[in-house]
Structure 1
Amino acid sequence: MEEKQAKGKRAYCSSSSAPVNALDDGCLMHIFALLSPIPDRYNTALVCRRWRFLACHPRLWLRVEGSVKSQSDPGVFPNLDSAILAARPGDTILISAGEEEHVATNIQIKKPLCLMGGGDLPDDTILVSSRGSDSALEFLSTCKVSNLTVRSELGCCLLHRSGRLTVEGCILQCIEHPLDHLSCPIVSTAGTYSPVQNGVSVARTRIEGGAKAVLTSGSLVLHSVRVLYARTSLYFWFDVSQKPPISL
């Protein structure tokens, strides 16, 4: 027992005396900001108390916790709307996992953001759009959606207007309905007039329901399609952009 404690103490001392720990908090936080939130930045929070404080600092990412009653804890918000309003361009918003579903109804995102589910699997974090809405999330800037389930009762899950939208490791569900022809997991209406590159990139994503998986307008085309068949699901990889289609 004493030998294990001694080894643990030596490991702690060697970690705390490492050259990187000679950097001040501002430098370390800048380094952590360059890491991907999950798993890299998440893993840095497990090193020691100081790294946990810096890696989880609200300057690096915001958190949506449905059970939060007040905003006494900076960087923690009771819903996705308030987190997006407070976010700065380039921020990552981590949405808490659990049995409680998060409401997402016609939420417009006009700045570059990353929305990420906090669970181990995409169906651990669920965004639900009500029947009276056009979409759950509407994107007017370059954004990324990762590790989330987005569920729409009537309408689309993701409405892409402009910018580059990346959907990775998600589940998009349109609930079965007599008017399912009005439902579509992904709708892109991006036009050629936008000065930034328009398009949607989808990887490792399960798409359920709706008359079509993707609905586009204008000169956008679907290409580079790949489908992986699993025992219970189909997972899709594809791109929607104005580039000429690639022959398969």
Structure 2
Amino acid sequence: MEEEDKSNYKSRNLKRCSDKIMKKSCSAPINNLDDGCLMHIFSFLSPIPDRYNTALVSHRWHYLACHPRMWLRVDRSVKDLSEPGVFPDISTAVSAARPGDTILIAAGGSHLASNIQIKKPLCLIGGGELPDETTLTCYRGSDSALEFLSTCKLTNLTVRAELGCCLLHRSGRLTIDGCILQCETNPLDYLSCPIVSTARSCKLITSPVKSNGDSVSVLQTRIEGGVKAVLTKGDLALQRVRVIYARTNVYFWFDVDHQ
């Protein structure tokens, strides 16, 4: 009985503390702002983890931080597809997205990604805690899972290609952060490559900022399979390579940029 009373006492204290925190957050001066102002502020936060954590503050903040204007969602488990901002597959979400949108891909299971062209600036994020919880699968017969013709970012995702390349970079600045790129091992693995860049910088770049051209940046990403990690054409070349071996995995940092 004493142990039960102690546990009940602790649970009551925890509830009081949580209620106090919620009251303080709700009475904070920032909550005097209207919804439009708060959403504008939230738009400057990185989707994960900052905007995700923001959604945990209160019901109002959850509604605003998860509003379709803030990011689109790909979730096959959602039955009511009439809900704004929710799509059954990646291709549909990419078509509906506006330049600068963030697409959150639900964790669990495998999402089909086959020759999906991305011609506008977008950010694709895996919804799991780890990249292997959100997998994009490209089946044999496709050139690539995702094809980039604009400045884009991929983070917290696993991209798996059976035969071909995981990511095909045509133009723009592509950033791959905290992902896993896998090419299936088979007798034709010399045809497989995690990253292929066909960008050619023959155009005149008047800006002195180097990053305005075509480039690929890889950060803390695991690469598996394929004879080569990167295949480039034009005058892009592999630069600034860093490798860290952590337990059973090897993580890479490198840039594909102009020589």
TM-score range (shorter-chain normalised) is: over 0.9
Q: Could you tell me the TM-score, scaled by structure 1's length?
A: 0.94
Q: State the distance in 2 between where 1:240 and 1:234 align.
A: 19
Matched residue, 1:53: 63
State the distance in 2 between where 1:35 and 1:145 align: 16
Structure 1 Cα separation of the partners of residues 257 and 55 of structure 2 = 38
1:140 aligns with 2:156: no
Cα distance change, pair 10–224 in 1 and its aligned pair in 2 (3 A): same
> Residue 241 of structure 1 aligns to which amino acid in structure 2?
D
Alignment match, 1:218 = 234
| 2:85 maps to which of 75, 94, 101 | 75
1:187–1:7 distance in 2 versus 1, CA, 3 Å: closer
**Aligned with 1:90: secondary structure?**
coil
Deviation string 1:23-56 (CA, Å, 9 cap, x unpaired) is 0000000000100000100001010000000000
CA distance in 2, matches of 1:202, 1:95: 20
Q: Provide the C-alpha distance between the structure 2 equivalents of 1:80 and 1:95, rounded to a whole number of angstroms.
A: 8
Matched, 1:201 2:217: yes
Contact 2:112 2:136 in 1 (8 A): yes
Q: Give the structure with higher Rg (CA).
A: 2
Unaligned runs of 5+ in 2: 1-8, 206-211
Cα RMSD, aligned residues only: 1.4
Equivalent runs, 1:143-182 vs 2, <5 Å:
143-182=152-191
Match of 1:116 among 122, 125, 129: 125
* Letter of the 1:113 counterpart: L
Match of 2:103 among 86, 90, 93: 93
Alignment equivalent of 1:230, drawn from 223, 246, 251: 246
Q: Describe the shift of the 1:24–1:152 C-alpha distance in structure 2 as closer, same or farther (beyond 3 A).
A: same
Percent identity, please: 67
Displacement after TM superposition at 1:8 (Å): 4.0
The one of 9, 16, 19 aligned to 2:29: 19
SS in 2 for 1:159: strand
Structure 1 unmatched runs, 5+: none
Give secondary structure in 1 for the equivalent of 2:227. Answer: coil
Cα distance in 1 between the residues matched to 2:235 and 2:244: 27
The offset of 1:211, in angstroms, is 1.1
- Structure 2: which amino acid aligns with 1:120? E
Change (3 A) 1:22 1:130: same
Q: Which amino acid aligns with 1:90?
A: G
TM-score by length of 2: 0.90
For 1:137 and 1:70, the matched residues in 2 are separated by 27
Q: Are the counterparts in 2 of residues 69 and 78 from structure 1 also a CA contact under 8 Å?
A: no
Query: CA distance change for structure 1 residues 210 and 6 in 2, over 3 Å: closer, same or farther?
Result: closer
